């Protein structure tokens, strides 16, 4: 079931709510430059195991409204809170991939983990996706600037190139086309502005403010959010468990989907 939630005047967020009668709730936040559809291979399985799976398209992406402003971690975290409050969610698992992982970390710090009982991070873009003087492990900033420029000049070609960046395993051409199609409905300016956000923003001080059990899932071949980011998350979050995915890049939710789903369910049930 799909519906819209207003998170500020004139801005509606699209929400897909699968198995509303499920016993345990997971709110999924997708990464750049995708939509809730990226979690298809979770939605094929988890609702049948009794989970209520809620997925939002962040502003600028998928079916959500595409305002000119608001593409930073604070506003994205506030949008997540708007969805949580509108649906009255309590005692649920909050989950995020890539920039969505950064968004849910900022939510936990900015809103004191309101309503969340557990946190799940998938290849999260934290504490910094890019290299800094005190953090030499991220992607060079100039690489992200190149993505921004490609987005503003030939976004379809940029999206095509992400197949090689996101996947470690060989995938079919059809799946590559599907992945490409997920990114197309986004606004070009939203795609560029979020890239600027994950290039320039950081979450070092946010990690220690997370006060719920946290699961970190990360592919060892990730070329976007390097494995060192997962190590930093494990060290910075007080109650965190890190599970490596040996045959995955940035898209572990597809590349090792059976292991991914199993680890997520065991974490929620534990």
Rounded Cα distance between 247 and 176, Å, is 18
Q: Give the number of other Cβ atoms within 10 Å of residue 106's Cβ.
A: 24
Catalogue the active-site residues. Answer: 98, 222, 250
154 contact partners, CB below 8 Å, separation of at least 6? none
Map residue 268 onto helix, strand or coil.
Answer: helix
Rounded Cα distance between 98 and 119, Å, is 14
Q: Where are the beta strands (DSSP E) in 111-190?
A: 116-122
123 contact partners, CB below 8 Å, separation of at least 6? 31, 97, 98, 101, 217, 218, 219, 222, 224, 225, 230, 250, 252
Map residue 162 onto helix, strand or coil.
Answer: helix
């Amino acid at each position: 079931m799909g519906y819209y939630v207003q998170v500020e005047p004139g801005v509606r967020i699209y929400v897909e709510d699968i198995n509303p009668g499920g016993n345990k709730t997971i709110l999924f936040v997708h990464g750049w430059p995708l939509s809730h559809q990226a979690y298809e291979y979770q939605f094929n399985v988890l609702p049948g195991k009794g989970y209520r799976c809620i997925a939002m398209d962040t502003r600028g992406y998928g079916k959500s409204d595409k305002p000119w402003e608001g593409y930073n971690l604070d506003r994205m975290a506030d949008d997540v809170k708007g969805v949580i409050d509108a649906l009255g969610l309590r005692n649920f698992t909050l989950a995020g991939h890539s920039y969505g992982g950064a968004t849910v970390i900022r939510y936990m710090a900015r809103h004191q983990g309101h309503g969340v009982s557990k946190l799940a991070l998938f290849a999260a873009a934290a504490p910094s996706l890019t290299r800094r003087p005190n953090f030499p492990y991220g992607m060079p900033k100039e690489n992200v600037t190149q993505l921004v420029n490609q987005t503003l000049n030939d976004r379809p070609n940029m999206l095509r190139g992400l197949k090689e960046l996101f996947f470690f395993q060989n995938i079919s051409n059809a799946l590559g086309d599907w992945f490409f199609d997920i990114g197309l409905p986004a606004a070009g300016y939203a795609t560029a502005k979020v890239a600027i956000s994950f290039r320039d923003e950081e979450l070092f001080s946010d990690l220690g403010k997370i006060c719920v059990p946290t699961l970190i899932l990360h592919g060892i071949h990730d070329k976007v959010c390097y494995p060192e980011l997962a190590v930093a998350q494990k060290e910075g979050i007080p109650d965190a468990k890190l599970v490596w995915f040996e045959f995955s890049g940035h898209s572990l939710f597809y590349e090792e989907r059976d292991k991914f789903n199993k680890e997520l369910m065991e974490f929620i049930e534990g």
